[in-house]
A and B are shown apart, each in its own frame.
Chain A
Amino acid sequence: MRKTLITSLLLAAGLTVGSSMAFAGEQESKVKDIAVTEKELAISALDNMSEYLRSLDKFTLQGNANIDEVLANGQKVQLSRSVIIKADPPSSLWAKTSNMYSDQEFFFDGKTFTISTPELGYYASFEALATIGEVIVKARDTFNVELPLSDLFLWRANSDAAADIDEAIIVGVDQINGISCNQFAFREKDVDWQIWIQRGDTPLPLKLVITSKDEESQPQYAVVLKWNTAPALSDQSYTFTPADGDHKINFEIAEATK
Chain B
Amino acid sequence: MIIRRNIPLKLFFFMLSAAVMMSFVPQLADARRAHTSVHRSSHTSVHRSSRTNVHRNTNVNVNRRVDVNVNHRRGRYYHPVATGVAIGATAAVTAAVIGSVVYTLPPSGCTTVIRNGISYSQCGSVWYEPRYSGNSVTYVVVNPM
Contact = CB atoms under 8 A, between A and B. Distances in A.
A112 interface: no
Given A11-B12, A191-B51, A210-B53, A100 B132 contact: no
A27 interface: yes
Interface string A199-221: 00000000010111011110111
Nearest to B7: A5
Which 6 A-B pairs rank lowest in CB-CB distance, beginning with the nearest?
Answer: A23-B23, A74-B42, A219-B50, A247-B119, A144-B134, A8-B8
B119 A254 contact: no
Contacts of B57: 140-141
Main secondary structure of the interface of A (DSSP, over half): mixed
A71 B47 contact: yes
B75 A101 contact: yes
Contacts of A140: 57, 59, 62
Contact of A144 (B54, B61, B118): B61
Interface in B70-105: 70-77, 79, 81-82, 84
A154 interface: yes
A24 B23 contact: yes
15 contacts: A4-B8, A12-B16, A69-B48, A115-B132, A119-B71, A140-B57, A146-B135, A151-B54, A154-B55, A210-B51, A215-B44, A247-B114, A252-B133, A255-B60, A256-B59
B51 A144 contact: no
Interface in A10-58: 11-13, 15-16, 19-20, 22-24, 27
B138 interface: yes
Nearest to B73: A120
Contact of A221 (B46, B50, B118): B50
Contact of A77 (B43, B81, B135): B81
B26 A100 contact: no
Contact of A19 (B19, B55, B59): B19
Interface residues of B, number: 68
Contact of A122 (B5, B7, B42, B137): B137
A248 interface: yes
A117 interface: yes
Given A191-B51, A250-B132, A12 B15 contact: yes
B66 to A, nearest CB: 10
Nearest to B43: A74
Contact of B131 (A99, A101, A251): A251
A7 B81 CA distance: 66
Q: Which of B41, B81, B137 has the most CB of A within 10 A?
A: B137
Given A70-B44, A151-B53, 4 more contacts: A100-B79, A101-B79, A252-B132, A252-B134
Contacts of A72: 45-47, 84
Nearest to A218: B50
B62 A23 contact: no
A58 to B, nearest CB: 22
A101 B72 contact: yes
A8 B58 CA distance: 64
A55 to B, nearest CB: 20
Interface in A130-151: 140-141, 143-146, 148-151
Contacts of B49: 67-69, 219
Interface in A59-99: 65, 67-72, 74-77, 79, 99
A107 interface: no
